[in-house]
Structure 1
Amino acid sequence: MKLCDHAGCHELVPFNVKYCAQHAGDYKARAAPGNAASYQHRKEISGKLQKFYKSKAWEHLSYDYRLKYPMCEWCQKKGLFVPADVVDHIIPIRVDWTKRLDESNLQSLCNSCHWQKSQEDKKRYHLPKLGTPPE
């Protein structure tokens, strides 16, 4: 026996079963055919993004950009001097794929500012988390 896979549920189920009787219906609704297509589409986009971020073109562009702008641009606006950790797309490439290699669409950010900016982008552009089943 093992715990139900539903977060926070403490019901025991056999090893070959994912969910208890109470949560099995929730799982089936999430796995409905309409949601499966959406999930598959998001997986394809996620793969395309991973391929881009591992490309030589992106590696060279982001490396060169960080050399030019080694400090977090958001922190600098606040008068702080924090080293940049990542190069971020101002307009996410999930929103406008054509700007993926446009240097005017880039900014150097520290991890903290990048996380904050990502949260704002999710709200602004209604971006779902990629590679996860729909809720």
Structure 2
Amino acid sequence: MPVKPKRPCSKPGCRNLTEGRYCEDHAHLAEMSRKERHKRYDEQQRDKKAAAFYRSVEWERAREQALIRDHGLCQDCLLDQRITPAVPVDHIIPIRIRWDLRLTLSNLRSLCNWHHAIKTAADKRKYGGCYALKPTHINPQRKGDSE
């Protein structure tokens, strides 16, 4: 079997050839960049409150109830008359938008991985990015409030 040709190191300006991303002189940069990416993700994007919630007993119970209610099948696939096992249970209104609905069974839906990815992408378009602004639900105006 032919050997894969070596390519230039990913470090700008380095002319060394390597089989991986970086040459031996710059291999430490791969580990540094990985740590930096994880550090930035942890600081800027990871929602620690949501992560703790998804590890909770309450979530496991609610998730199991939704799967039982939906017979373990993807609800979107059923609309297309297909039978597909559900893996994730999705919040119809994301918890970053409405935290108070996180355990409400009517806000949970069983989906296959494919439909869950589509739903997550739609949520990102609708609410923006990783819901970075974390908007809250809009309170209706009370009588007598002027615009």
Q: CA deviation at 1:92?
A: 0.6
Q: Say if 1:72 and 1:16 are closer, same or farther in 2 by CA, change over 3 A.
A: closer
Q: What's the CA shift string for 1:27-53, capped at 9, x where partnerless?
A: xxxxxxxxx8xx84534x2x1111100
Report the structure number with the largest CA radius of gyration.
2
Any idea what SS the aligned residue of 1:112 has? helix
* Inter-partner Cα distance in structure 1 for 2:28 and 2:67: 49
Q: CA deviation at 1:94?
A: 1.1
Bigger helix share = 1
Structure 1: which 5+ residue stretches go unaligned?
A: 5-9, 19-35, 131-135
* Inter-partner Cα distance in structure 2 for 1:127 and 1:99: 21
* Inter-partner Cα distance in structure 2 for 1:84 and 1:60: 16
The 5-angstrom pairing of residues 1-135 of structure 1 reads 3-4=10-11, 11-12=13-14, 15=26, 40=43, 42-43=45-46, 45=47, 47-69=48-70, 70-128=72-130
- The aligned amino acid for 2:80 is K
* Inter-partner Cα distance in structure 1 for 2:98 and 2:58: 17
Q: Is the 8 A contact 2:96 2:131 kept in 1?
A: no
Q: Is the 8 A contact 2:74 2:84 kept in 1?
A: yes
Q: Say if 1:85 and 1:16 are closer, same or farther in 2 by CA, change over 3 A.
A: closer
**Residue equivalent to 2:138:** none
Q: CA deviation at 1:17?
A: 8.8
Tell me how many residue pairs correspond in the alignment.
106
Q: CA deviation at 1:115?
A: 0.5
Q: Say if 1:74 and 1:17 are closer, same or farther in 2 by CA, change over 3 A.
A: same
Q: Say if 1:16 and 1:101 are closer, same or farther in 2 by CA, change over 3 A.
A: same
* Inter-partner Cα distance in structure 2 for 1:52 and 1:76: 29
Q: Is the 8 A contact 2:95 2:102 kept in 1?
A: yes
Q: CA deviation at 1:73?
A: 0.4
**Root-mean-square deviation over aligned CA pairs:** 3.0
- TM-score, length of structure 2 as denominator length: 0.61
